[in-house]
């Protein structure tokens, strides 16, 4: 029964990671841009959701406000900063976007103070639901999984069934050729960047009631998101989905069961510490294994 | 370095200084007419990062005492130089060097995080400067590494964990699940708890430092069915855990226990109702009934109008302790080190905690209280003292200290 619960936990983490990494992988794939500040959009989403919810008392309105806010901030940053970085090398991009992280984190502290903001689960979703007899599971986390699945389907429809999606795919597999064939790459870039920011903002806003809404919260999830896009293959949304769920499951199940497994082998005190350490590196081990097997990730979008 | 980059960096320094001044981190200007040169005190604390609110509170508590003395401590004019250690040991060591060598401070205080304190304190006290810690209390400085010029006015780091262990033992919790981050302070915390709790440890989990999601650990706790869960997860980690633990519907079956660090008034504001019912331990609370505490809480609320944390209370007590010693020596510090030290050892001041004295290792011997998180009629989630756990509690390292 514990296994079922832990698998759900893994799925829920995976869904959040997917929302974070979908935008990141598209930006990386289409613009060739390493954006360390992607976690800041996650933070913007959480802060706006917490702030608006605090004002209105409704998390739904908070969520509704967070999405356009994150998108607008993302598109603004694209126009003001990122455009200047597309042609620069990766080190410049890393430096500039690292600077943006500092800017956003300090801005959050200046605007909202150092103490974390309060954001609670809405009344409707505050209880637990018995998914199997004797296995209660937080309703809010189930809702996150549901939203994640809906977003994944919507993204899949957008990318595989619409004209915009076609352009995005074209941009991801060969940027220059898409531009040469007449796609408006500049507008596409702003739009994709905004879309990515919106998804990150959605993840942040949904995470708000579970986590501490605080400055720097985005960086914690950003590293995992980078692991996801490397495993999934840069530029591939499908890869991001598969990798996000895999990373979520491996991380959660590792944390849940590795220390116990180790304790079966050895009873001494080092088992706890070793188990904790091993479960922490489990996803990096996974990344190393995947890269050894498929150096370009699971679903590379560049030929 | 080229001229351009020299200019750029000096502009940067100027801008940083400007920012520091405008943020109020600069030295306190004192308007009082001074008969004697003011005693210089270096307040090196953590003002940036998310942990910055701890240092902010320690600073404001300290400055409140100076304010209430009209720019003096114990009637002796003082000049408080505030610096930010940025929660970085290297930065802390640099700033301490500057305060001691360039500004010639005679007393230092302000340390919040133990890793920074370990980079600052041993060096400072060797330079014959007195150090009064308002928070950081690493075991090394209480035991073998103790020093005649070092005093800790708050606690030794293990104390609150020990108090919670004692409480869990006395209150008859048969099995307790333990949770802490996988780093030295996390392990020390659980060791401190187990020093006094002799019941069954239903599970002991070390999580990643900075971890946000505790779903896996919470599922394991549900499965283990303990009577209580004791956790030490500083700052945002604790908020995350408690919110998620409550959402999982476990707070009604499993008693939440923790050290007072994890339940300060600012954190409670971010956790809200999910924290109600949790029990924690501290040497101080805003509702402790004594005259010194009443004066302090009223003055703090009047000046800063925000919830008061133990960090503010300890900052205030650090200033009071310094004041008592300055009064005894008539303002002499480096002029009469032995006299100043002897006066500090007496701890002749009315602590906001009530009874307070120093042990032979210059660490407190004091009471620890059980606090329960309650929701007031006005809807504020806050700590309420509901009993005493320890009287005259001393740390476990005092015996290792030879001065």
Nearest CA in chain A to B237: A212
B282, B323, B283, B317: which is closest to B300 by C-alpha? B317
For A183-202, write each residue's pLDDT tens digit: 787 888 899 999 999 999 99
Assign B1 to helix, strand or coil: coil
Residue B6 above 80 pLDDT?
no
Q: Which residue has the higher pLDDT, A274 or B213?
A: B213
Nearest CA in chain B to A116: B270
Q: A88 with A71: CB under 8 angstroms? A: no
For B221-231, write each residue's pLDDT tens digit: 999 999 999 99
- Please state whether beta strands B200-207 and B150-152 pair in parallel, antiparallel, or not at all (unpaired): unpaired
Query: CB–CB of A141 and B215 under 8 A?
Result: yes
Planar angle of CA B234, B240, B241, nearest 5 degrees: 80
Q: Residue B2: which pLDDT band, with cuts at 50, 70 and 90? A: very low
- Please state whether beta strands B228-231 and B175-181 pair in parallel, antiparallel, or not at all (unpaired): parallel
Query: CB–CB of A272 and B204 under 8 A?
Result: yes
Distance of CA A135 to the CA centre of its chain: 28
Q: B213 with A210: CB under 8 angstroms? A: yes
Q: Give the pLDDT confidence score for residue A152 in this predicted structure.
A: 93
Nearest by CB to residue A114, choosing from B53, B237, B244, is: B53
- Please state whether beta strands B107-109 and B130-133 pair in parallel, antiparallel, or not at all (unpaired): parallel
Residue B385 above 70 pLDDT?
yes
Q: How many CB pairs under 8 A join A and B?
A: 117
Average pLDDT value over all residues in chain A: 89
What is the gyration radius of the CA atoms in chain A, in angstroms?
Answer: 20
Query: CB–CB of B212 and A220 under 8 A?
Result: yes
| % of residues, chain B, pLDDT over 70 | 91
Place of tokens 């008693």: B255
Instruction: Give pairs for A4-7: CB < 8 Å, separation 24+.
Output: A4/A131, A4/A132, A4/A135, A5/A131, A5/A135, A5/A137, A5/B219, A5/B222, A6/A252, A6/A253, A6/A256, A6/A257, A6/B215, A6/B216, A6/B219, A7/A249, A7/A252, A7/A253
Query: In this structure, what are the phi and psi dihedrals at residue B195, rounded to the nearest 5 degrees?
Result: -60, -30
What is the full DSSP assignment across A64-91? HHHHHHHHHHHHHHHHHTGGGTTTS-HH
Q: Residue B177: which pLDDT band, with cuts at 50, 70 and 90? A: very high
Please check whether residue A225 touches B, CB under 8 A.
no
Q: What is the Cα–Cα distance from A189 to A30, expressed in whole angstroms?
A: 8
Distance of CA B216 to the CA centre of its chain: 31
What value does the mean pLDDT take over residues B1-17?
44
Say how many Å lie between the first and final Cα of chain A, rounded.
43
Q: Would you state the structure tokens that stand for residue B103, as one six-digit string?
A: 């500004």
Nearest by CB to residue A117, choosing from B50, B222, B270, is: B270
Q: Give the pLDDT confidence score for residue A264 in this predicted structure.
A: 77
Q: A282 with A51: CB under 8 angstroms? A: no
Q: What is the Cα–Cα distance from A270 to A263, expressed in whole angstroms?
A: 9
For B77-130, write each residue's pLDDT tens digit: 999 999 999 999 999 999 999 999 999 999 999 999 999 999 999 999 999 999
Segments in chain A below pLDDT 50: 303
Q: Residue B68: which pLDDT band, with cuts at 50, 70 and 90? A: very high
For B274-308, write each residue's pLDDT tens digit: 999 999 999 999 999 999 999 999 999 999 999 99
Kindly tell me the sign of the dihedral angle through the C-alpha atoms of B126, B132, B134, B138.
Answer: positive
Q: What is the Cα–Cα distance from B132 to B320, expressed in whole angstroms?
A: 11
Please check whether residue A126 touches B, CB under 8 A.
yes
Query: CB–CB of A280 and B182 under 8 A?
Result: yes
Q: Residue B34: which pLDDT band, with cuts at 50, 70 and 90? A: very low
Looking at this predicted complex, what is its ipTM? 0.80
Helices and strands per DSSP (H, E), number in chain B = 13, 14
- Please state whether beta strands B279-282 and B255-259 pair in parallel, antiparallel, or not at all (unpaired): parallel
Planar angle of CA B278, B282, B283, nearest 5 degrees: 160
For B106-115, write each residue's pLDDT tens digit: 999 999 999 9
Query: CB–CB of B219 and A12 under 8 A?
Result: no
Q: Would you state the structure tokens that stand for residue A100, as one six-digit string?
A: 């943006």
Nearest by CB to residue A118, choosing from B205, B222, B269, is: B269
Q: CB B116: neighbour CB atoms within 10 A?
A: 28
Domains and CATH numbers, chain B: 31-155+289-362 (3.40.50.2300), 159-282+368-400 (3.40.50.2300)
């Amino acid at each position: 029964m514990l296994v079922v619960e832990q698998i759900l936990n893994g799925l829920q983490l995976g869904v959040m990671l997917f929302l974070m990494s979908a935008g990141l992988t598209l930006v990386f794939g289409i613009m060739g841009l390493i954006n360390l500040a992607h976690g800041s959009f996650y933070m913007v989403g959480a802060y706006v959701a917490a702030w608006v919810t605090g004002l209105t008392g409704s998390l739904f309105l908070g969520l509704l406000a967070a999405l356009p806010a994150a998108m607008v901030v993302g598109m603004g940053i694209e126009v003001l900063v990122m455009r200047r970085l597309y042609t620069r090398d990766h080190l410049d991009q890393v430096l500039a976007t690292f600077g943006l992280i500092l800017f956003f984190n300090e801005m959050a502290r200046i605007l909202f103070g150092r103490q974390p903001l309060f954001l609670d689960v809405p009344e409707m979703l505050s209880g637990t639901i018995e998914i199997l007899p004797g296995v209660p599971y937080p309703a809010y986390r189930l809702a996150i999984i549901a939203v994640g699945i809906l977003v994944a389907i919507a993204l899949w429809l957008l990318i595989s069934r619409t004209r915009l999606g076609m352009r995005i795919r074209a941009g991801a597999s060969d940027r220059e050729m898409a531009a040469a064939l007449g796609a408006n790459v500049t507008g596409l870039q702003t739009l994709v960047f905004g879309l990515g920011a919106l998804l990150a903002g959605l993840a942040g806003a949904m995470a708000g009631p579970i986590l501490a809404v605080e400055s720097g919260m985005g960086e914690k999830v950003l590293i995992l998101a980078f692991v996801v896009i490397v495993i999934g293959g840069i530029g591939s949304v499908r890869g991001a989905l598969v990798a996000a769920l895999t990373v979520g499951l491996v991380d959660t199940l590792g944390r849940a069961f590795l220390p116990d497994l180790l304790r079966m082998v050895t009873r001494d005190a080092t088992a706890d510490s070793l188990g904790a350490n091993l479960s922490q590196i489990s996803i990096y081990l996974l990344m190393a294994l995947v890269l050894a097997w498929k150096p370009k990730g699971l679903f590379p979008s560049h030929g | 370095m080229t001229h351009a980059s020299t200019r750029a960096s000096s502009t940067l320094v100027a801008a940083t200084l400007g920012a520091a001044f405008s943020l109020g981190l600069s030295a306190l200007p004192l308007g009082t007419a001074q008969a004697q040169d003011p005693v210089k005190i270096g307040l090196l604390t953590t003002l940036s990062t998310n942990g910055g609110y701890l240092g902010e509170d320690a600073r404001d508590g300290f400055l409140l005492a100076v304010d209430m003395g009209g720019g003096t401590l114990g009637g002796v004019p003082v000049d408080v130089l505030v610096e930010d250690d940025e929660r970085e040991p290297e930065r802390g060591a640099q700033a301490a060097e500057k305060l001691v060598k360039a500004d010639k401070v005679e007393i230092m205080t302000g340390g919040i995080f133990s890793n920074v304190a370990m980079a600052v304190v041993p060096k400072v006290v060797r330079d014959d400067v007195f150090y009064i810690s308002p928070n950081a209390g690493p075991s090394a400085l209480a035991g073998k590494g103790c020093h005649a010029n070092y005093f800790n006015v708050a606690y030794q780091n293990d104390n609150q964990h020990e108090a919670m262990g004692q409480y869990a033992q006395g209150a008859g919790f048969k099995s307790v699940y333990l949770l802490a981050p996988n780093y030295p302070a996390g392990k020390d915390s659980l060791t401190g708890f187990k020093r006094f709790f002799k019941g069954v440890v239903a599970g002991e989990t070390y999580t990643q430092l900075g971890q946000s999601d505790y779903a896996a650990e919470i599922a394991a706790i549900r499965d283990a069915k303990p009577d209580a869960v004791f956790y030490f997860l500083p700052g945002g980690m604790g908020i995350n855990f408690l919110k998620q633990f409550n959402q999982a519907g476990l707070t009604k079956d499993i008693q939440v226990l923790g050290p007072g660090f994890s339940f300060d008034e600012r954190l409670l504001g971010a956790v809200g109702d999910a924290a109600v019912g949790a029990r924690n331990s501290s040497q101080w609370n805003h509702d402790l009934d004594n005259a010194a505490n009443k004066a302090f809480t009223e003055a703090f609320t009047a000046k800063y109008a925000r919830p008061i944390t133990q960090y503010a209370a300890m900052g205030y007590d650090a200033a009071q302790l310094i004041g008592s010693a300055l009064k005894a020596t008539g303002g002499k510090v480096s002029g009469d080190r032995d006299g100043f030290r002897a006066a500090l050892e007496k701890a002749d001041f009315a602590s906001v905690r009530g009874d307070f004295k120093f042990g032979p290792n210059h660490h407190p011997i004091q009471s620890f209280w059980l606090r329960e998180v309650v929701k007031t009629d006005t809807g504020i989630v806050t700590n309420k003292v509901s009993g005493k756990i320890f009287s005259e509690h001393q740390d476990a390292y005092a015996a290792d200290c030879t001065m």
